[in-house]
Structure 1
């Protein structure tokens, strides 16, 4: 049986989130567009813990965990002042439904900005973003490296450090703030930061896109 590309976003679930442009169009024509997309993600998708991300010219990948709607999250939900946020607060829709509405806000607001910038019209993203549940630690580790490896896989660079639009850099600048949950990711590799970073790098350097794991990728 094939993988479920549109699973419900359940609390504490880990997911590979990805989407691409319609007609293979360029999603990020300028540097400021990458930055704007990340800014809107942070503003709207506060209900997700991010473990890894990568933005490429015509698609993107994120590895995330769904956060429970605790008091802090609920305060952010209240500030949204949307029909869906009010419905969630009233108990009329699920947390998953609210999160999906936030994704739609992200895609719509980003598409409107690009359409205005580029003089285009219509949809920019494929209608349904993919969200595949990750149910084991090996798959989680695989996708962490796969996401960071993606620019190499598509021929945009020869090393992770050469592609500026991925979370790989956040793990090599621990003194700088980041929206990525680096502490938890590094805990997957070792109990101490120094050893974890060494194993993180070794795992990425040794990574190969194994055929048996290709079903977890966008291609």
Structure 2
């Protein structure tokens, strides 16, 4: 069956999600994150789209963008192809990296624009990776507090106040409220088979056998447990496979 055409936004603004095929991790380390951001910057200049927010998670990325000179579909394909070529070279792999086409939803009014903005910045908070949006390296949140690099911060801050200092303070307050609105999701609710979970645990924790996770230093163990939880593994499943106590896992996830 032919693909259905994507809904066009009257404002030209879209919330977009790029996700790894079969939930594959697409950002293994900081080098990967930096490479993706460099690719995004390169094609932003060529396509002239406006970027209002972004967040890179382990196996997906959120973008809040406005279509300008070039069709966003073309721009996203170029970004994806460039990043995949580099990723496959680095990890000595071949084949697809991203799941089908990117997902997108239209953003038609100011209220929903702010809803999506907060949703994107709160992604790592809700995933249990950090406590506050400002603690996360791979989102646009910090650009609004300091010197912007890729994001059109003045446009966004204009929603909060005409005075930039006051706008930043209101922006921060806005992001402390828990957004309960429904946005385009990444569909990560699938249950992992134990065989899949075992491979994921070994990959994330960089170990040969899952039981070795018990012997990791506490800081690394906590970091890896958060990542496994964010990938969709339950505390019960992690505990059953690794032998780590469920109380330890819950404490790490919630820290």
TM more than 0.5: yes
Distance in structure 1 (CA, Å) of the matches to 2:183 and 2:125: 18
Question: Structure 1: which 5+ runs fail to align?
Answer: 70-94
Pair 214,9 (structure 1): closer, same or farther in 2 beyond 3 Å: closer
Q: Verify: 1:150 aligned to 2:123, yes or no.
A: yes
Pair 6,156 (structure 1): closer, same or farther in 2 beyond 3 Å: farther
Q: Verify: 1:123 aligned to 2:96, yes or no.
A: yes
* Selected match of 2:136 from 149, 155, 163: 163
Ranked by relative contact order (alpha carbons within 8 Å, sequence separation 6 or more), the top structure is: 1
Moved over 6 A (4+): none
* Selected match of 2:152 from 181, 191, 194: 181
* Selected match of 1:203 from 174, 189, 192: 174
Distance in structure 2 (CA, Å) of the matches to 1:136 and 1:8: 14
In angstroms, what is the RMSD of aligned CA positions?
Answer: 1.9
> 2:105 aligns to what SS in structure 1?
strand
With the length of structure 1 as denominator, give the TM-score of the two structures: 0.77
Contact 1:5 1:132 in 2 (8 A): no
Q: Number of paired residues?
A: 182
- 1:215 offset after TM fit, Å? 4.2
In the other structure, the counterpart of 1:6 is: 6
In the other structure, the counterpart of 1:90 is: none
Distance in structure 2 (CA, Å) of the matches to 1:186 and 1:107: 29
| Structure of larger gyration radius | 2
Contact 2:119 2:183 in 1 (8 A): no
Pair 163,24 (structure 1): closer, same or farther in 2 beyond 3 Å: same
User: 1:21-100 residue pairs with structure 2 within 5 A?
Assistant: 21-46=20-45, 47-67=48-68, 69=69, 95-96=70-71, 99-100=72-73
Pair 146,126 (structure 1): closer, same or farther in 2 beyond 3 Å: same
With the length of structure 2 as denominator, give the TM-score of the two structures: 0.67
Distance in structure 2 (CA, Å) of the matches to 1:140 and 1:8: 16
Question: Structure 2: which 5+ runs fail to align?
Answer: 188-255
